[in-house]
Amino acid sequence: MGLLTSPVILATNITDSGLIRIGTGGPKGTYYPIGSLIASAVSDTSAFKTCQTSPCDQPPILAVHQTSNGSIANAMDIQSGSLEAGLVQSDIAHWAFTGTGVLQGDKPAKQLRAVGSLYTESFHLVARKDANIQTVRDLRNKRVSLDEPGSGTLVDATLLLNAYGLQPADLKAEYIKAEIAKSKLLEGRLDAFFIVGGFPVSIIAELAETGKITLVPIDGPEKAGLLSNNQFFSENLIPAGTYSNIGETATIGVGALLLVTSMLEENIVYKLTKELWSAKTRKILSAGHQKGKEIRFTNMNKGVSVPFHPGALRLYSELGVPINP
């Protein structure tokens, strides 16, 4: 019987049990490997199993990573209680928490709480070399995937298009996972697709090896307007050599946050935060993924757009880090 269907665990209030389900993203993005590494690093598997059979005053953490549709899905699932934690773009986190921006009219997700900021994600606009797409404006009438509903990529791609005077209706838009977009692009049935993720994104690395793609730069006065109107976006560069045969590419970045539900018990989030920034986790993240090397304690408050969980605040207070809760 799997861990998530264990009758012992289901008989326990999951927000007090030490079990933390972390929503990530699709297997070919960046959230999935980073979420997997974090789950492995912060877990104390053997102690957790012992606490399921013998009472524990303060249960240890067992984190498990789960695939998801991305930032919006993770934020909504944390709000509903389907997840205890998740990786969420800072812009999506703010809009979900306040019920504003692209989520105007949705009920505010007031259960969202921050553990910390992880790294910067980059907008990638991937195009077939023979599709004659040199700029964002060249996407008009092209077959383009904006990613699937529930993803932060879809939201950001729409904002980006608007900045360049385009709407999804101006494209032959599709709403599919990056893995499916990859196959369709290689088969000549798709001209381009968007994906927001910390480079190197594995699916783009695989495509770059074929020599059939390019990254379209996001630049110009339209980009300046987009940055001016969206406080969570920042200038970003994808260095030359990040992907085979692709030079330095100007783009836009957005922060990736680790969020939890406010319903998680304070001691559990305190332990989670302490383990996240431990030397052990630092080593696991650095060895496991290029973006893992960028997850630094000095950036833990960068771009955080929702209140911190009291458990995280407790650790930061002990470490003498001033935080506006």
Q: What is the CATH number of domain 3-118+256-318?
A: 3.40.190.10
Task: Answer whether 3's CB lies under 8 Å from 17's CB.
Answer: no
Residue 12 has pLDDT above 50, yes or no: no
Confidence category of residue 56, pLDDT binned at 50, 70, 90: low
pLDDT tier, 50 (very low <50, low <70, confident <90, very high otherwise) = low
Sign for the CA dihedral angle at 102, 106, 107, 109 comes to negative
Counting Cα atoms < 13 Å in the Cβ hemisphere of 225 gives 10
Q: Is pLDDT at 174 greater than 80 in this prediction?
A: yes
247-261 mean pLDDT = 97
Mapped onto helix, strand or coil, the DSSP state of residue 19 is strand
Over residues 260-270, mean pLDDT: 96
**Statement: residue 5 has pLDDT above 80:** no
CA 291 to CA 15: how far, in whole Å?
Answer: 29
Q: What is the pLDDT, as a whole number, of residue 88?
A: 97
Mean pLDDT of 86-102: 94
CA-CA distance, 18 to 44, in Å (whole number)?
10
Task: Give the domain ranges of the chain.
Answer: 3-118+256-318, 122-254
pLDDT tens digit sequence for 175-231: 999 999 999 999 999 999 999 999 999 999 999 999 999 999 999 999 999 999 888
Residue 48 has pLDDT above 80, yes or no: no
pLDDT of residue 49: 58
Give 98-134 pLDDT, tens digit per residue: 999 889 888 999 999 999 999 999 999 999 999 999 9
Which structure tokens are listed for 154? 């879809």
Same fold yes or no, 3-118+256-318 and 122-254: yes
Residue 152 has pLDDT above 50, yes or no: yes
- At residue 100, the 3 state secondary structure works out as coil
**CA–CA separation, 325 and 307 (whole Å):** 5
Between CA 15 and CA 12 the distance in angstroms is 9
Mean residue pLDDT of the chain comes to: 90
pLDDT band at 142 (very low <50, low <70, confident <90, very high): very high
Fold of 122-254: D-Maltodextrin-Binding Protein; domain 2 (3.40.190)
